[in-house]
Structure 1
Amino acid sequence: MPEKTAPAPSGILLIDKPGGITSHDVVARARRALDTRKIGHAGTLDPMATGLLILGVGPATRLLTYLVGLDKTYEATIRLGVSTDSDDADGAETARADASALAAVTDARIAAGVEALTGQISQVPSTVSAIKVGGKRAYDLARAGAEVELKARTVTVGRFDVVARRPSTSSGTEVGPGTEVGPGTEVGPGIEAGTIDLDVVIDCSSGTYIRALARDLGAALGVGGHLTALRRTRIGPFEVADAVTEIQPDAAHHLRSAAAVAADVLGALPVTADEARDLRHGKRLVGAAPRLGATATATPAAIDPDGRLVGIVERRGDDLKSAMNMPEDAS
């Protein structure tokens, strides 16, 4: 008898992305480790950024559309006093504040600037971004020297906490508590004169550009600003503490089932074997919508008696119909 081939890997993989590589690089590594081409990610991280990246593997890539819109948490460092053309440290410096302007940046002014950027705000994304303009990426147009004008979008910043303020360092040198540092003062190796670093923690909706928050805070304070460090620590219910840092050949052991992830994100709707079959065949579950209750999400995950993800369902009046089906052998 011919040997049975192992089923192709399927599930959700949480990765703690290191700095210096792209999200596509992470996907390429995962493809090699898991020996499959069908891998995608939910939400790009810039090369400079580190932290949580969610990969969908095999048929579970179908779930990514339900994950990309989840809210997120970031830890970041904003440098006040210098603007760059990309709004982060990878860009070229475009302006630098003078000492008098930086000396006027008080804690109270920072707090007011942060408050104005908290809640539902209108934000113009960074020019060097992956947003498409006329079918081309904004960063490709900007690097080609084209004028790029991006439209403002409404985003929500639920938390914007400044957890530390200190003179900037370019090599990790710390300034001890109580050290007085005036504008333009040389403090020692690694200190960049005339700038201020703010360590912040931000909760925000999907589509929020942290680089743009750094830029807009600096602009509001009259000194310019850009991002020097960014780490994504949470996406929806998923935490970076639960992610793997290296993608090894045995990474399949770290895959989370599509059923478990869908239930965590969308809520679970238990269905019978007959109902599972009907949903997979495109039939509606007549009169089943009231089973969801008033607090259920609009698109819950249908889970069969064996704990497998049948698919994502949606209401149609009192009925439920499938919005996305999963293969029976990949749940």
Structure 2
Amino acid sequence: MTERRAPSGSTDPVDGLLVVDKPAGWTSHDVVGRVRRLAGTRKVGHAGTLDPMATGVLVLGLNRATRLLTYLVGADKEYTATVRLGQGTVTDDAEGDVTDAPGAASIDAAALETALERLRGPIDQVPCSVSAIKVDGRRSYARVRGGEQVELAARPVTIHRFDVLARRTTTADDGTAVTDLDVVVGCSSGTYVRALARDLGGALGTAGHLTALRRTRVGPFDLTGAADLTVLGAAHEAGRPVPLLSLTDASRAAFPVRELTEHETTAVRFGRRLPAGGREGPVAVTAPDGHVVALVEDRGDHARPVLVLDPA
């Protein structure tokens, strides 16, 4: 992780990405608030929330790097999780009350693999009703907690990987015999892993919910080098700045790279278009000295700047 510091004595804001290992019990907003205090700036955002129960990769942008987050929110993600078969909850995870407990003392291995296979690839997933999705202007979770019955429309998502790492039979606190599955999930943005747990239970003729969730990757950013908030706090007390990934390093990690000539660099800095590069999605374009000046996207025969990071 490349450390970015303002010059000594400077009050200029520092730009960059920070990958945090979110602790359990914190909301994503809690983490943003903490980093705002540690970095001394109000301009901090994140590239996709994690539920309070979940831990793991939370990508934050500071100052100008918040503009990159729009293009990182849609990145594929990976998780490790524990699915409990035999019980369902109102939230589809361990934070909600148990609503159904048919039990799952044993699960046939062939039936389990068949159910998993049906949940891989492109699927239409019904999000959890206790979620932040808005229904007629109000969050779905607020409607549910107000006593309403909420049925959300299915959404297309892609499950790249849904594999069982380990399984064990145990007894839940209420005495129900259940089967716990440690799983790994690779998926497109917008996937609810707790909905996968719910649907896996349903496919096996029982119920299911998540008891643990850890996000291990967002796009190219994983737990390797992810910052611990306690360590960041201690560093702050010692007068050390928050270590950030620079705009150039972050862009190079997240997007394909196209090198520009001096003439093309000047054009992009003024928001002018370039000849198309033949790549789909955002591309980081670099000046001859190697630093990223913008993100561009092909539109027909031309590549148009969608985000200029180094304006004229």
Matching of residues 105-254 of structure 1 within 5 Å: 105-168=107-170, 193-246=176-229, 247-248=232-233, 249=236, 252-254=241-243
Partner Cα separation in structure 2 for residue 166 and residue 138 of structure 1: 34
Give the secondary-structure state (helix, strand or coil) at the position aligned to 1:111.
helix
Deviation at 1:5, TM superposition (A): 2.5
Partner Cα separation in structure 2 for residue 115 and residue 302 of structure 1: 40
**2:56 aligned with 1:55:** no
Q: Is the 8 Å Cα contact of residues 59 and 327 (structure 1) preserved in structure 2?
A: no
**2:10 aligned with 1:8:** no
Partner Cα separation in structure 1 for residue 88 and residue 262 of structure 2: 59
**Judging changes above 3 Å, is the alpha-carbon distance between structure 1 residues 195 and 316 closer, same or farther for their aligned structure 2 residues?**
closer
Q: Is the 8 Å Cα contact of residues 73 and 234 (structure 1) preserved in structure 2?
A: yes
Q: Which structure would you say has the larger Rg?
A: 1
Aligned alpha-carbon RMSD (Å): 2.1
| 1:303 aligned partner | 286
The one-letter amino acid of 1:155's match is V
**Judging changes above 3 Å, is the alpha-carbon distance between structure 1 residues 198 and 146 closer, same or farther for their aligned structure 2 residues?**
same
Q: Is the 8 Å Cα contact of residues 85 and 180 (structure 2) preserved in structure 1?
A: yes
CA displacement, residues 188-212 of structure 1 (integer Å, 9 cap, x when unaligned)? xx79541111100111111111000
Q: Is the 8 Å Cα contact of residues 168 and 191 (structure 1) preserved in structure 2?
A: no
| 1:89 aligned partner | 94
Partner Cα separation in structure 2 for residue 325 and residue 21 of structure 1: 33
Give the secondary-structure state (helix, strand or coil) at the position aligned to 1:242.
coil
CA displacement, residues 212-258 of structure 1 (integer Å, 9 cap, x when unaligned)? 01001111112201000000001111111221112332674521111
Partner Cα separation in structure 1 for residue 154 and residue 293 of structure 2: 39
Partner Cα separation in structure 1 for residue 189 and residue 299 of structure 2: 27
Q: Is the 8 Å Cα contact of residues 105 and 179 (structure 2) preserved in structure 1?
A: no
Deviates more, 1:266-275 or 1:51-60: 266-275
Partner Cα separation in structure 1 for residue 21 and residue 121 of structure 2: 28
Q: How many percent identity over aligned positions?
A: 49
| 2:37 aligned partner | 32
**2:283 aligned with 1:281:** no
| 2:3 aligned partner | none
Deviation at 1:146, TM superposition (A): 1.7
Structure 2 unaligned residues grouped into runs of 5+: 1-7
The one-letter amino acid of 2:28's match is S
Partner Cα separation in structure 2 for residue 91 and residue 260 of structure 1: 40
The one-letter amino acid of 2:210's match is L
Pairing partner for 1:271 from 260, 268, 272: 260
The one-letter amino acid of 1:110's match is L
Partner Cα separation in structure 2 for residue 319 and residue 194 of structure 1: 61
Partner Cα separation in structure 1 for residue 304 and residue 105 of structure 2: 61
CA displacement, residues 158-202 of structure 1 (integer Å, 9 cap, x when unaligned)? 1111111112366xxxxxxxxxxxxxxxxxxx7954111110011
**Judging changes above 3 Å, is the alpha-carbon distance between structure 1 residues 207 and 236 closer, same or farther for their aligned structure 2 residues?**
same
**Judging changes above 3 Å, is the alpha-carbon distance between structure 1 residues 237 and 169 closer, same or farther for their aligned structure 2 residues?**
farther
Deviation at 1:110, TM superposition (A): 1.5
Q: Is the 8 Å Cα contact of residues 160 and 201 (structure 1) preserved in structure 2?
A: yes
4+ residue stretches of structure 1 with deviation over 3 A?
Answer: 190-193, 250-253
Q: Is the 8 Å Cα contact of residues 34 and 251 (structure 1) preserved in structure 2?
A: no
Matching of residues 250-261 of structure 1 within 5 Å: 252-261=241-250
**Judging changes above 3 Å, is the alpha-carbon distance between structure 1 residues 10 and 192 closer, same or farther for their aligned structure 2 residues?**
farther
Partner Cα separation in structure 2 for residue 209 and residue 46 of structure 1: 10
